């Protein structure tokens, strides 16, 4: 089977998304295998992201691959004066697939053009974080039983949050209704509203965030409102406690409603929400393991049928 | 079999200690196995401790497990504004067991209360370092043939040294006689002397450290006297060369006497001691491998019988 | 078979070099195996060198070994006040072989004298980098079909470049003709010219670097001219653009000529050279994998015959 890069969610077809979710489902049934035995995965983190790195490393290890790499290029010698091209070509000599996080937008796309081995984008600047999007989709699919015709509420920093932007693009195939809930300074950029218009996606904008507004939500996707994003600190002081989800706001939520968050959270979800059955953000992170196992196989040319017929399952 | 946390030595029964030593003994016979194949171990070092981390990573690898984690949370992004609870829950999604070192006393206990997977305490502040204690016990058992009725001399910084405190607690089952040899500023705290009284443990205090004092020792447990522990630097200057073990002090030692040290040492054991047959601190560190292999199995619910019947031994 | 240290290229016999190249050739045929299953490799980098560390880690992982270690001792706690001897003895308790990079010349030699396990020198100060030399030799052998009677041109910083010094020593068995092309401030030291005289090696010195000078080269070995090496910055300004290889200088090169570089490069090879068939520096780095797989086996007492008869090959 053909090898693939995984650089952006924007050009993934409906069929490809459903295919990858089907593969994640197989890995959830049996996460521990030797299907990547003999493979080496490189995790190149040009900026640190311990959480994402741990998730990819776990996925590689649970499939029997070995992991090399670095956690922070600034404290390593890899890139001293060396071009990204040379670094990628060098690592391509050693690894069968490269997972990379880079602080420059488009770095993963560029790497995919020069590397002889597949590239998985683990975040490039404020641009894309497509593996996070895959686990968000898988979490929605698992909890709702479908991706079709859902009411999805995005809350918080909709201006800079790359995960919410990716989610809009990925959901274009599935007839969602979006609600954008944000302070004016962090409102959804026009670019993504035009994207919705172009793809016939219904959306509504709100600045209020309370029990009433979210009563019809199937998915409530929380993100953090960061002080440093505001040019007007008075405005920050005015809104900082507005976009916090509290347990008493969930009394009238639909039974199927689930709360997602890309993590880490600081205070945008109160701790008394954690034990509410609507809370799903910790399980959501676990879905990242299965989604990333699927991505490794997809990128290395292992098909869904290969996974279904796999006999290397461990510990059962 | 039941899974366990391993947070403190204080509540371990005599039977449990002997059981774990028996398991360490099995691993010393055959350290390389695949008994943890398919398992993922996380080593979360919120403060760096390369030596302890290498030891745990070796133990995991030699049993066939895979290792993820970080070496220093201060330079990682894991904990930026995130609570310890969220970090532990996140990593519990990925790993089957978590080894953690934290700079706050009680952090491991707290983690064990929130984590769905077992927690192994690799040191929490100045509080506990129970895996070090297990290797100390195994070293004593191996070299003396018993843990019962031994004369154990603790030398150096008895005020802040968590390894000597843990050793007192663990030995309460085995009728030891302790000798505490320390400068006044670093004397054994009353808390642990009361502990001895309460458990009927005989102890003697000394400020002198010479051939005479240690002539009756079965175990001579050295620790470092650090300058920064003294409020009165004149006092430090007065005692700094007193608590150094030199080869000529060992002429009248009992034949079975062994010198232990948790390492790293700086100058508290002179280098001419290294070739003396009483020196045991390097082999002691090796026992850490077997003790930690036993801890991984214990925490993951693998019994001594499982280990004895294990057929995954490698390279023999 | 006997275990070996690999500390220097200087005392390796012709037979031993050819033996190791033969082993690298076997690993190039089948790089993925389980021949080191159950072994633990420690990579101790007392100064960072991500590139070299990734290469050794890949070699260990592709042979089925497990890897422990640290990437930068300055940010770790390993060596706080501890002697190198104690650190090496401690790690020898855990690992079957130690790969070490150290900032002090002779550190690897010293380590090999105290360690009970084999030591592989991954660079000690400005002194030796013998595994780089093995991959240089393997690259020359692969591209030229022989090591005998070659015209080898060394270009750039010949004063401080440890790779070119090692190459001269290793090639003494094979009747090379060397050409040293360098600015005066970075000329080949007398020490190595005397070495050539003593071993009957023909050499020529040049300060010019152009198409004419290199027309007869079989191997063109480029190194970087670093500003900080110059005491006279006027001199640096004068020569800084002289020792740059450009594509138009290769028009009359011999068909078999290959360009090597230990990497990373900054600007000493223009990017338009990359697609020239004479360019070989990226493939050269890949040869490092096979050369280092051979070194691990050699050091652990696994013979060429063992490798030829190995039945643990993966994924074929």
Q: Name the pLDDT band for C296 (thresholds 50, 70, 90).
A: very high
Contact C125, C107 (CB under 8 A): yes
Helices C107-114, C84-92: inter-axial angle, 10-degree rounding:
50
Question: What pLDDT, on a 0 to 100 scale, did the predictor assign at position C217?
Answer: 98
Residue A137 has pLDDT above 60, yes or no: yes
Q: Which residues of B touch C95 (CB under 8 A)?
A: 58
Question: Smallest CA–CA separation between B221 and chain C, in Å?
Answer: 18
Contact B2, B125 (CB under 8 A): no
Hey, which residues of B are catalytic here? 51-52, 80, 101, 129
Question: What pLDDT, on a 0 to 100 scale, did the predictor assign at position C252?
Answer: 94
Is there a binding annotation on residue B162?
yes
What's the token pair of residue C125?
């100060």
Separation between Cα atoms, residue A223 and residue A158, nearest integer Å: 8
The helix (run of H) or strand (run of E) holding residue A137 is helix A130-144
pLDDT tens digits, A258-304: 999 999 888 899 999 999 999 999 999 999 999 999 999 999 999 99
- The chains in contact with chain A, meaning 3 or more Cβ pairs closer than 8 Å, are B, C
Q: Exposure of B296 by Cβ count < 10 A (0-12 exposed, 13-18 middle, 19+ buried)?
A: buried
The domain spans of chain A are 14-128+288-308, 130-284
B180-201 burial, b at 16+ Cβ within 10 Å, e below that, comes to: bbbbeebbbeeebbebbeeeeb
Name the pTM for this structure.
Answer: 0.95
Compute the count of residue pairs across chains A and C with CB atoms less than 8 Å apart.
Answer: 64
Residue C121 has pLDDT above 60, yes or no: yes
Residue ranges of alpha helices (H) inside chain B are: 14-29, 50-62, 84-92, 107-114, 130-144, 162-171, 190-198, 233-239, 281-299, 304-308
Longest CA span, chain A: 60
Separation between Cα atoms, residue C152 and residue C188, nearest integer Å: 14
CATH topology (fold) of C130-284: Rossmann fold (3.40.50)
User: Is C66 considered catalytic here?
Assistant: no
Residue A55 has pLDDT above 70, yes or no: yes
Is C61 in contact with A70 (Cβ distance < 8 A)? no
Mean pLDDT rounded to a whole number for chain C: 94
Question: What pLDDT, on a 0 to 100 scale, did the predictor assign at position A309?
Answer: 97
Cα→Cα distances C166→C126, C192, C264, Å: 11, 10, 18
Residue C256 has pLDDT above 90, yes or no: yes
Select from B78, B81, B90 the Cβ nearest to the Cβ of A266.
B81
What's the token pair of residue B259?
């010198």
Whether residue A32 lies within 8 A of chain B, CB to CB, comes out as yes
Question: Smallest CA–CA separation between B179 and chain A, in Å?
Answer: 46
In sequence order, the 6+-apart residues with CB closer than 8 A to the CB of C95 are B58, C40, C41, C42, C68, C117
Of A86-95, A240-249, C134-143, give the lowest mean pLDDT range: A240-249
User: Is A80 considered catalytic here?
Assistant: yes
Q: Which residues of B touch A288 (CB under 8 A)?
A: 93
**CA atoms in the 13 A half-sphere facing the CB of A54:** 26
Separation between Cα atoms, residue A270 and residue A267, nearest integer Å: 6
Question: What pLDDT, on a 0 to 100 scale, did the predictor assign at position C77?
Answer: 57
Residue ranges of alpha helices (H) inside C30-152 are: 50-62, 84-92, 107-114, 130-144
Separation between Cα atoms, residue C118 and residue A227, nearest integer Å: 54
Neighbouring C-beta atoms of residue B305, cutoff 10 Å: 9
Contact C49, C20 (CB under 8 A): no
Question: What pLDDT, on a 0 to 100 scale, did the predictor assign at position B185?
Answer: 87
Whether residue B68 lies within 8 A of chain C, CB to CB, comes out as no
Q: Do domains C14-128+288-308 and C130-284 have the same CATH topology?
A: yes
Question: What pLDDT, on a 0 to 100 scale, did the predictor assign at position A169?
Answer: 96
Compute the count of residue pairs across chains A and B with CB atoms less than 8 Å apart.
Answer: 63
Residue A78 has pLDDT above 60, yes or no: no
Nearest C-alpha neighbor of B75 from the set C106, A70, A270, C174: A70
Contact C145, C302 (CB under 8 A): no
User: Is C175 considered catalytic here?
Assistant: no
Question: What pLDDT, on a 0 to 100 scale, did the predictor assign at position B234?
Answer: 86
Average pLDDT for consecutive 10-residue bins of chain B (316 residues)? Answer: 91 96 98 97 93 96 96 66 91 97 94 97 89 98 98 95 94 98 93 97 96 96 85 84 93 97 91 96 97 98 97 86
Q: Which residues of A touch B90 (CB under 8 A)?
A: 51, 263-264, 282, 285
Candidates 3.20.20.60, 3.40.50.2020, 3.40.50.1370, 3.90.920.10; CATH matching A14-128+288-308:
3.40.50.1370
Question: What pLDDT, on a 0 to 100 scale, did the predictor assign at position A76?
Answer: 61
Question: What pLDDT, on a 0 to 100 scale, did the predictor assign at position A230?
Answer: 79
Contact C209, C243 (CB under 8 A): yes
Residue C78 has pLDDT above 80, yes or no: no
Dihedral of the alpha carbons of A92, A98, A102, A105, in degrees to the nearest 10: 90
Q: Name the pLDDT band for C166 (thresholds 50, 70, 90).
A: very high
Is C86 in contact with B265 (Cβ distance < 8 A)? yes
Whether residue A282 lies within 8 A of chain B, CB to CB, comes out as yes
Angle (CA) C57 A64 C135, round 5°: 25
Question: What pLDDT, on a 0 to 100 scale, did the predictor assign at position C226?
Answer: 79
Angle (CA) A113 A119 A124, round 5°: 90
Whether residue A315 lies within 8 A of chain C, CB to CB, comes out as no
Cα→Cα distances A175→A179, A202, A219, B296, Å: 13, 8, 14, 49
Residue C161 has pLDDT above 90, yes or no: no
Separation between Cα atoms, residue C46 and residue C122, nearest integer Å: 10
């Amino acid at each position: 089977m053909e090898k693939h890069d995984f650089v952006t969610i924007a050009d993934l077809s409906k069929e490809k998304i459903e295919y990858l979710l089907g593969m994640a489902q197989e890995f959830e049934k049996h996460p521990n295998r030797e299907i990547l035995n003999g493979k080496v995965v490189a995790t190149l983190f040009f900026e640190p992201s311990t959480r994402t790195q741990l998730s990819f490393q776990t996925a590689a290890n649970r499939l029997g691959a070995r992991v090399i790499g670095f956690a922070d290029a600034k404290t390593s010698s890899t890139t001293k004066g060396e071009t990204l091209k040379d670094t990628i070509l060098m690592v391509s000599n050693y690894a069968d697939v490269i997972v990379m996080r880079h602080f420059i937008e488009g770095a993963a796309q560029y790497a995919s053009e020069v590397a002889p081995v597949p590239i998985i984008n683990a975040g490039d600047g404020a641009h894309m974080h497509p593996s996070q999007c895959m686990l968000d989709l898988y979490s929605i699919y698992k909890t709702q039983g479908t991706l079709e015709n859902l009411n999805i509420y995005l809350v918080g920093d909709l201006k800079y949050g790359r995960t919410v932007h990716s989610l809009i693009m990925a959901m274009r195939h599935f007839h969602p209704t979006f609600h954008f809930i944000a302070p004016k300074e962090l409102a959804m950029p026009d670019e993504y509203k035009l994207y919705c218009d172009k793809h016939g996606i219904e959306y509504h904008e709100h600045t209020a965030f309370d029990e009433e507004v979210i009563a019809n939500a199937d998915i409530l996707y929380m993100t953090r409102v960061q002080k440093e994003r505001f040019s007007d600190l008075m405005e920050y002081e005015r809104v900082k406690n507005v976009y916090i989800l509290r347990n008493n706001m969930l009394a009238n939520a639909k039974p199927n409603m689930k709360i997602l968050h890309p993590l880490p959270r600081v205070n945008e979800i109160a701790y008394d929400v954690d034990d509410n059955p609507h809370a799903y953000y910790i399980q959501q992170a676990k879905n990242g393991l299965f989604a990333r196992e699927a991505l490794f196989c997809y990128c290395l040319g292992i098909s869904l049928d290969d996974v279904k017929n796999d006999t290397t399952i461990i510990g059962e």
